[in-house]
């Protein structure tokens, strides 16, 4: 990011390139949505309702809330990066004095909770007879949510890389701040995509 003294102000080539790449990812998820709704139209409302009735909407809603809130904690980490504060300046319980490291670590834990919840949900559905090959609904459900889960996992790896880079860096500068901001773009993207997936899969039955 290019900067005025003390604050980042406009995106650099890395950030712009990331946004362009996320645009291509958006097209990928658009194809998954098209597959989902096409399969739904072919199967018919009665068959679809029987399959969606197996979903635990309340559990998924809690899991979704955690992921959405992780975007908030991620953004607080970005604010800390923009003021070049890599770590907390007070006690751990003094949240107002947290730096980028603490906010990103919390975001990582919330994202990991989401993935754990998704694995738990998969296990329950398979136990109830809904597997990848059991029926058409199972195929589209696991493919769409599974690919999103892989993207979330990729985001978690990115957070780890950022945290390791900060720990090894002698000085927190523009390069580290740019990396943090670019990772936040990706994380906000996967959160927005999940909101759309949650609405389509769990709410529109």
State both tokens at 97.
């004095």
Tokens (6 digits) for 105: 């670590």
Query: CA distances (Å), 33 to each of 28, 99, 143, 177, 190, in order?
Result: 9, 37, 10, 34, 14
> pLDDT category, 48, cuts 50, 70, 90?
confident
pLDDT tier for residue 53 given thresholds of 50, 70 and 90: confident
- Predicted TM-score (pTM) of the model is 0.86
Number of domains observed in the structure of the chain: 1
Q: What is the mean pLDDT of the chain?
A: 88
Over range 156-167, report the average pLDDT: 92
Confidence of residue 51 (pLDDT cuts 50, 70, 90): confident
The whole-angstrom separation of Cα 82 and Cα 19 is 19
CA-closest candidate to residue 85, choices 164, 9, 180: 180
- Cβ(166)–Cβ(100) below 8 Å: yes
- What distance in Å separates the CA atoms of residue 127 and residue 139, rounded to the nearest whole number? 16
CATH of the domain at 26: 1.20.120.80
pLDDT score, position 4: 45
Please tell me the distance from the alpha carbon of residue 178 to that of residue 58, in angstroms, as a whole number: 37
DSSP 3-44: EETTEEEE--HHHHHHHHHHHHHHHHHHHHHHHHHHHHHHH-
Q: What is the DSSP letter of 203?
A: I
Range 22-27 average pLDDT: 84
CB count within 10 Å of CB 24 equals 8
Question: Does residue 47 surpass a pLDDT of 80?
Answer: no
With a CB cutoff of 8 Å and minimum separation 6, the contacts of 139 are 39, 132, 133
Domain that holds residue 124: 2-203
Helix (H, G, I), strand (E, B) or coil at 165: helix
pLDDT computed for residue 26 by the predictor = 86
């Amino acid at each position: 990011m290019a900067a005025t003294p003390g604050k980042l102000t406009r995106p650099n080539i890395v950030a712009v390139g990331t946004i362009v790449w996320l645009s291509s990812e958006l097209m990928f998820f658009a194809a998954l949505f098209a597959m989902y709704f096409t399969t739904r139209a072919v199967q018919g409302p009665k068959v679809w309702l029987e399959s969606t009735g197996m979903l635990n909407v309340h559990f998924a809603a809690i899991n979704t809330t955690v992921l959405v809130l992780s975007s908030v904690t991620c953004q607080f980490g970005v604010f800390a990066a923009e003021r070049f504060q890599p770590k907390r300046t007070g006690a751990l319980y003094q949240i107002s004095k947290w730096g980028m490291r603490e906010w990103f670590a919390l975001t990582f834990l919330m994202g990991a909770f989401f993935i754990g919840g998704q694995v738990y949900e998969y296990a329950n559905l398979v136990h109830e007879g809904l597997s990848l090959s059991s029926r058409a609904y199972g195929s589209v459900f696991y493919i769409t949510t599974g690919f999103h889960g892989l993207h979330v996992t990729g985001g978690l790896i990115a957070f780890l890389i950022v945290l390791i880079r900060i720990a090894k860096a002698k000085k927190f500068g523009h390069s580290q701040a740019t990396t943090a901001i670019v990772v936040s773009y990706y994380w906000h993207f996967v959160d927005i995509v999940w909101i759309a997936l949650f609405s389509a899969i769990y709410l529109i039955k």
